Structure 1
Amino acid sequence: MMFPKLAKSWRAKKNVDEKGTRIISPMELGDVILSVSKLFPVLFVGRIPPKALFSYLRVPAGKVKPLWLTTVETQSPYAINPRHLYKLGAIIEREVKANGSQVIVDGIEYLIIENGLEPTLKFLGQVKDVTALHGSSLYVVASDALSEKEVVPIRRVLGLP
């Protein structure tokens, strides 16, 4: 399995740039959400349904706003189709501008499957710029489902070593 090797190397390197962008492992996700939400509002973008997110982490709904990436038609106000990167980017920009939210993006591999690598990289670049412009932080969860061929350009787009 390649991820433990990558995770170890990420910890060994500086993984935070001057604008507050970080790559975290799935094992760190819960701790990051809990610690960041104590200080700031958090916008969580990922594959975890909101009910599961709130019950698992026991975070008050007012501290974390979820955006659930799903292609299933649902009445959930938190659901967004992962193929609508332009809508997702607009929601993130609005949330960061209005509330100073810190952004956590999980499910990068799902976005790549649904949109392709290049559009996902463009999306991540846009989110990085928005968070940097407004003094917010961006946390990107990189799972072992990503190959090194995908991780390298993601790190480059995020401006990480």
Structure 2
Amino acid sequence: MAASKSYNIAGLKTAFAIITNPELRVRFENSRMGMVDSVNIFGLIATEAAYAHGEEWLTDLKSYLQKNRDLLISRLRQDVPEIIVHTPQSTFLAWLDCSRLGLPSLPYDYFLSTANIALSNGADFHETATKNFVRLNFGCSRSTLLQALDHLVSSVHARS
């Protein structure tokens, strides 16, 4: 488990495992092979604070992210229906299937050069199966998301 993504404390490296089975715990400990060091005091305090006092913040964050997600899906389906996007669940990352756009290059390269937005390159995740995909992080301010969507939509419509 980790508070890292939900509470944005990934750099504090405080993931942990709760393993009640003694044999499995020994196997887990042995598999670390000295690669996992100890947790720092800042990470411990931040994790404790997040879990003890962060419920209201997390509830608000999830609501904000859901609104961003819904905005993203609505905008793409309305303005660029050729991009296939499935409703993401339990994540702030959306996979955009751009294979029906007929772009002159991979979607990552196209949007970087024409829309000036850097998305995650689908080809980095699987050389062939996701090469026509990009991954968009909607865990950002609404204004940033709107600006990115404006650039993306404009770059697609400029091809028409």
Q: Tell me the TM-score normalised to structure 1 length.
A: 0.25
- Give 1 or 2: higher strand fraction: 1
Q: Tell me the TM-score normalised to structure 2 length.
A: 0.25
Q: Which has the higher contact order (CA 8 A, sep 6+)?
A: 1
